[in-house]
Structure 1
Amino acid sequence: MKQVLTILAIVAVVGSAVGMGYYFYKNNDEPTEKYATVKPEMSDVFKKTVATGSIMPKKEITIKPQVSGILDKLYIEPGQKVKKGQLLAKIQVIPDMSSLSNAESQLRRAKITLENADKELKRQQRLYEQGVISSQEFQTFKREFDLAKENVESGKENLKIIKEGTASDAGASTTLVRSTVDGMVLDTPFKEGSQVIMSNNFNEGSTIATIADMGEMIFEGKVDESEVGKLQKGMPLKLKVGAIDGVEFNANLNYISPKGITEEGAIKFDVKANVALIDSVFLRAGYSANADIVLDKRLNVLTVEESNVTFNNDSTFVEVKIGEDKFEKRLLKTGLSDGINIEVLSGITKDDEIKKL
């Protein structure tokens, strides 16, 4: 019995030893870890900044009445195209009582003066025909009569202007509001029946219509102070309009504000750019837009993905494959980066394989 137990114990020990040996053999026989690699590529690198803003007409004006009163007729609506001199609206004048009273009083005095001048002229004409006075004396009275007659006509026109806003020439009526430019009506803030006031030294006046040339549009946006020093007039922009999918507009930077403003705790500078319109796409005033501004670029240069680059203080490294699953760190000299790809100036070639991190 003891002999049997001894044999079983020996078999168990030998079996355990064989099992452990097989286990270690299998572990050592597993392949070493494999790493994916990528090769550098020849591509373009652009460094950009983004300006947020909106699309606005380059030329936009407001039309205001020449007299105060009630907006009697409005002949236009937003979206309508108008020509210079086209009638936009008609104002019904509400006369000022003080001015009206003064004008009526002035006209009455002018009529009295005319009646007296008429009587005197007739009397002097009889004396002139009898040879009592000279022609020169008669012409003096004739001139006084003509002046008195002119004052009456002037008083009538002045009274009519105060009452109706117009004199004898209907084409020059101050109650008729006309367009001063060609363009499209963007807005008509007041409706018929509204009270409007003329522009003066104390008030900018009521806006009857806003008119703009929609054939010339500009982008108005803002850029951060950290980027404004890199901008120059004439730089190309790519505009993406939020309301229009899949279309990019070209633009050229033509204005950079010399003074920044504080906005949400940061200093921003205004920029403007002329937009190259596309015939098949209608740009509406006020569309929000983002502008990509190219600050610097490198064309057809050797690049690697920045995610595969190791940065250590001022040094830049990549791991280059030198054999089967063997890599070595190699120092790079880099250039421009767009945040995804980075330009390689020296350290590797386009045939090297780089470990993908």
Structure 2
Amino acid sequence: MGTDQLDNTSDSFMPGRRKSGKKRLLGFALVVLVGMGGAYFWFQGDEEVEETEPLIRIAEIGDIENTIAATGTLKPFETVEVGAQVSGQLVRLYVEAGDEVEAGDLLAEIDASQQQQRVESSRASLAGQEALLESRMSALELARANADRQRRLMAEDATSQQDFDNAMNQLASAQASLIQTQRQIDQSRASLAIEEQELEYTRIVAPISGTVVSLSMTEGRTLNASQQAPTILTIADLTEMTVQAEISEADIARLSTGMEVYFTTLGGGNRRWNSELRQILPQPVIENNVVLYTGLFDVDNNDGALLPEMTAQVYFVTSAARDVLTVPIGALTFLEGGPASAGAGFSQAMSAQAGNLPGNRPGGIVRPEAGAGRPALGDGSINREQLRAGPAAGGRRNRLATVQVQNNDGTITEQEIMVGLTSRVAAEVVTGLQAGDQVIAGVLQGDVSGIDRDQIRNALRGGFR
């Protein structure tokens, strides 16, 4: 077959190949269009069937508080390190860690043989000096009698001047010897008291009542107390504990002594220990260029639930309202230039979705009519002039706000209220609501088997680009 014939044969196959490629391209484009259209209708249908429901919360009596959090460590209120004041071998320990002791109880004994010998030597020396004192007193009496005789003889000119002077000198010498001996006896008695005290120091007794929290020495250990008293054991009074809280320098200006404080522990569950701030130490602790001040407060521990070195999560209460009517902060929309809140966004969402709420009558959110049982907006029940006059009880300034209330018939009522103390999650209702009222704190939207629809949409839309 020639070259021209081969060229003709190849050209005859080209139209078929072009047609096959076009069909494949058209098929692929059709599949993409169908997929995109199906996704679009799935999204639209999903939004149409998605149900919108109000997030209902009940106005109830509770507590509101604003706190400053800190981390603390538990320490015994009183701790004593019991040491040895004399050197020697520790021959006996009568307690173990965890034992309860009373003040004066015998805790340990040190070998007292050397101290006992010193005491006996001092007593013997003192006895000899006391005997010498008797001799000095007799010599003084003799010298005094001889001096009196020489005075009489001198008056009668019956003795020499030398004999008279010798008698006077012997009297003065006897008096000096007696005084010297008395002073030596006083010194010996003092030395004996020291020796007896050192002998008593070989018996280690409890200085306070408490718990033996640690033992630093064991029986048979030689103690050297010549330069520094070695610690044998530590006793702590665990019936009262002190919390040392680490406070950031950013929060220190908001704290003051006497303010309410409470703490929890890792193993204490929901139990709270309440107290008052006793002291803030002026010297800070600087760690890694972080300045921390130490706050101290005490708490009773009669049940023994708290132990030394436990970690405490501390909360200093800067403001609080107890047993007041509360609602979620997200349910509020503040008026008169008050701070914005999540309630504003929720109110807008509820207004837009009012027609879709179950049981809601046409027209969406309504205002209460006269005699509806609650004060209506602008009916004079909330005194705005009084609100502007100054802070409420406890130094808190009240603010006006509105809240969405769901009635028993399913209708939504916008209600004006007076708000007292607020926290990050709740607000105190001074007037305008009653306990048990149902307020709307937001909007609940359906989901797809717990999957976030917005995440799915964003992911799929990114894939179509």
Is the contact made by 1:87 and 1:177 (CA closer than 8 Å) also made in structure 2? yes
Equivalent in the alignment of 1:257: 281
Equivalent in the alignment of 1:18: none
Give me the whole-angstrom Cα distance separating, in 1, the residues matched to 2:267 and 2:56.
Answer: 40
Q: CA deviation at 1:133?
A: 7.6
Is the contact made by 1:166 and 1:174 (CA closer than 8 Å) also made in structure 2? no
Is the contact made by 1:303 and 1:344 (CA closer than 8 Å) also made in structure 2? no
Pair 1:294–1:356, CA change in 2 (3 A): farther
1:240 to 240, 264, 272: 264
Equivalent in the alignment of 2:427: 343
1:65-76 map, 5 Å: 65-76=84-95
Equivalent in the alignment of 2:221: 194
1:91 aligns with 2:114: no
Equivalent in the alignment of 1:180: 207
1:80 aligns with 2:99: yes
Q: CA deviation at 1:190?
A: 1.4
1:141 aligns with 2:165: no
1:50 to 49, 52, 69: 69
Higher-Rg structure is 2
1:270 aligns with 2:291: no
Pair 1:149–1:91, CA change in 2 (3 A): farther
Give me the whole-angstrom Cα distance separating, in 1, the residues matched to 2:136 and 2:177.
Answer: 12
Give me the whole-angstrom Cα distance separating, in 2, the residues matched to 1:146 and 1:278.
Answer: 60
Pair 1:190–1:133, CA change in 2 (3 A): farther
1:1-357 map, 5 Å: 31=48, 33-39=50-56, 41-42=58-59, 44-92=63-111, 141=174, 144=177, 147-148=180-181, 151=184, 158=191, 166-167=195-196, 173-198=200-225, 204-277=228-301, 279=303, 281-298=304-321, 299-305=324-330, 315-316=340-341, 317-320=344-347, 321-322=350-351, 323-325=354-356, 338-339=423-424, 341-343=425-427, 351=439, 354-356=442-444
Q: CA deviation at 1:270?
A: 0.7
Q: Which residue type is aligned with residue 427 of structure 2?
A: E
Give me the whole-angstrom Cα distance separating, in 2, the residues matched to 1:190 and 1:52.
Answer: 33
Pair 1:276–1:237, CA change in 2 (3 A): farther
Give me the whole-angstrom Cα distance separating, in 2, the residues matched to 1:224 and 1:72.
Answer: 49
How many residues are treated as equivalent by the alignment?
305
Partner SS state of residue 262, structure 1: strand
Is the contact made by 2:325 and 2:428 (CA closer than 8 Å) also made in structure 1? no
How far does the alpha carbon of each residue in 1:31-54 deviate from its partner, in whole angstroms, 9 at most, with x for none?
Answer: 464323224553543322322122
Partner SS state of residue 37, structure 1: strand
TM value normalised by structure 1: 0.63
How far does the alpha carbon of each residue in 1:83-125 deviate from its partner, in whole angstroms, 9 at most, with x for none?
Answer: 33333333336979xxx9xx99xx7xx989x98x969967996
Is the contact made by 1:166 and 1:175 (CA closer than 8 Å) also made in structure 2? no
Give me the whole-angstrom Cα distance separating, in 1, the residues matched to 2:48 and 2:140.
Answer: 137
Q: Which residue type is aligned with residue 213 of structure 2?
A: L
Instruction: Answer with 143-152 or 86-95: which moved more.
Output: 143-152
Give me the whole-angstrom Cα distance separating, in 1, the residues matched to 2:240 and 2:180.
Answer: 54
Give me the whole-angstrom Cα distance separating, in 1, the residues matched to 2:244 and 2:212.
Answer: 21
Give me the whole-angstrom Cα distance separating, in 1, the residues matched to 2:282 and 2:187.
Answer: 54
Pair 1:247–1:204, CA change in 2 (3 A): farther
Pair 1:246–1:156, CA change in 2 (3 A): same
Q: CA deviation at 1:59?
A: 1.4
Q: CA deviation at 1:73?
A: 2.7
Pair 1:244–1:319, CA change in 2 (3 A): closer
Identity of aligned residues (%): 18
Is the contact made by 2:54 and 2:444 (CA closer than 8 Å) also made in structure 1? yes
How far does the alpha carbon of each residue in 1:38-87 deviate from its partner, in whole angstroms, 9 at most, with x for none?
Answer: 24553543322322122211111222333233323333322222233333
Instruction: Answer with 137-146 or 233-242: which moved more.
Output: 137-146
* Larger relative contact order (Cα-Cα within 8 Å, sequence gap ≥ 6): 1
Partner SS state of residue 213, structure 1: strand
Give me the whole-angstrom Cα distance separating, in 2, the residues matched to 1:123 and 1:335.
Answer: 96
Q: CA deviation at 1:209?
A: 2.6
Give me the whole-angstrom Cα distance separating, in 1, the residues matched to 2:441 and 2:95.
Answer: 69
How well do the aligned residues superpose, as a CA RMSD in angstroms? 5.2
Give me the whole-angstrom Cα distance separating, in 1, the residues matched to 2:235 and 2:110.
Answer: 19
Q: Which residue type is aligned with residue 207 of structure 2?
A: T
Q: Give the gaps of 5 or more residues in structure 1.
A: 1-23
Is the contact made by 1:81 and 1:184 (CA closer than 8 Å) also made in structure 2? yes
Partner SS state of residue 275, structure 2: strand
Partner SS state of residue 216, structure 1: strand
- In terms of fraction of residues, the more strand-rich structure is 1
Give me the whole-angstrom Cα distance separating, in 2, the residues matched to 1:191 and 1:237.
Answer: 42
Q: CA deviation at 1:213?
A: 1.8
Q: Give the gaps of 5 or more residues in structure 2.
A: 1-40, 152-166, 358-363, 366-400, 403-418, 446-465
Q: Which residue type is aligned with residue 290 of structure 1?
A: Q
